[in-house]
Amino acid sequence: MNETPRLVQVRQRVLKQNDVAARALRDRFHDRGTYVVSLVSSPGSGKTAFLESTLGALRSRYRAAALVGDLATDNDAKRLARSGVPVKQIITGTVCHLEARMVEDAFEEWRDEPLDFLFVENVGNLVCPATFDLGEALRLILFSVTEGEDKPRKYPTIFHTSDVAVITKIDLAAAVEFDAGAAHRDIQAVRPGMEMLSVSSKTGQGMDDWIASLIARREAAFAL
């Protein structure tokens, strides 16, 4: 038997299912007036502290909630729950990233809650989350001054899929001799034109500007 196989041309995104789920989520959140922000970073970059400060600043004027992805523990969710907003854990088991379906499932319980902001904290990982759209309106990539300036060059793909680079723990910059100029240059080399912020969740430095820009983005997204 020597039959030649036929070749069929296809053009399908490998992650079609995730893309379809993400698009449906994005439409749904948009219709409800919920502005969705996801956060990616390596473990220990201060993602949870940044989110705590952000939730604290928003809660008096806005309805906010957070979904937190973690491999096994609910420590981060417990910490965030102290800020007084609804928080839900997504335990991913051995999965190193969140996918749109996980966000959809976790959000189900809140389907009728009116929310102005939803934050989605991804699993601490700078590689795997890059490939998966979660239906968010804005993706932040955070890295701390203690991790060094060269994060953008080491993990360019995560910078490519993010909208804003947030340098955290800026209050420690002098102590660790963080070269802000080099960090900014590297971010711009990897992703020309990328918006950059420097913040300290501890001292509050840069947080007012971040909150103001976040509120402005939501207003622009929903033409308020």
Partner 1 sequence: MHELSIALSMLDVVAEEAERQGGGRVVAIHMKLGPLSGVVKQALISAYELAREGTGMETAELLVEDVPIVAFCGLCGGLKPIASMVELVCPDCGEPTPEIINGRELEVVGLEISES
From 90, 97, 44, 96, select the one nearest 69 (Cα to Cα): 90
Q: Which is nearer to partner 1, 151 or 169 (CB)?
A: 151
Radius of gyration of the chain (CA): 19
Say whether residue 73 binds partner 1 (CB under 8 A).
Answer: no
User: What Å distances lie between residue 29 and 57, 59, 68, 209, 218, CA to CA?
Assistant: 22, 19, 18, 25, 12
In the block, residue with structure tokens 């604290």: 56
Say whether residue 8 binds partner 1 (CB under 8 A).
Answer: yes
SS3 166: strand
Say whether residue 10 binds partner 1 (CB under 8 A).
Answer: yes
Least distance (Å) from partner 1 to the CB of residue 162?
Answer: 12
The single residue among 20, 176, 182, 189 that binds partner 1, judged by CB under 8 A, is 189
Of 8-16, 20-28, 109-117, 173-181, the window that binds partner 1 (rule: CB under 8 A) is 8-16
Side by side, the strands of the sheet bearing 87-91 are 87-91, 64-70, 117-121, 35-41, 138-144, 164-168, 195-198
In the block, residue with structure tokens 């680079």: 165
From 161, 123, 166, select the one nearest 147 (Cα to Cα): 166
List binders of partner 1 among 12-51 (CB under 8 A).
Answer: 12-18
List binders of partner 1 among 130-169 (CB under 8 A).
Answer: 130-132, 152-153, 156-158, 160-161
Least distance (Å) from partner 1 to the CB of residue 76?
Answer: 21
Interacting residues toward partner 1 by CB under 8 A: 1, 3, 5-18, 95-97, 99, 127-128, 130-132, 152-153, 156-158, 160-161, 186, 188-193
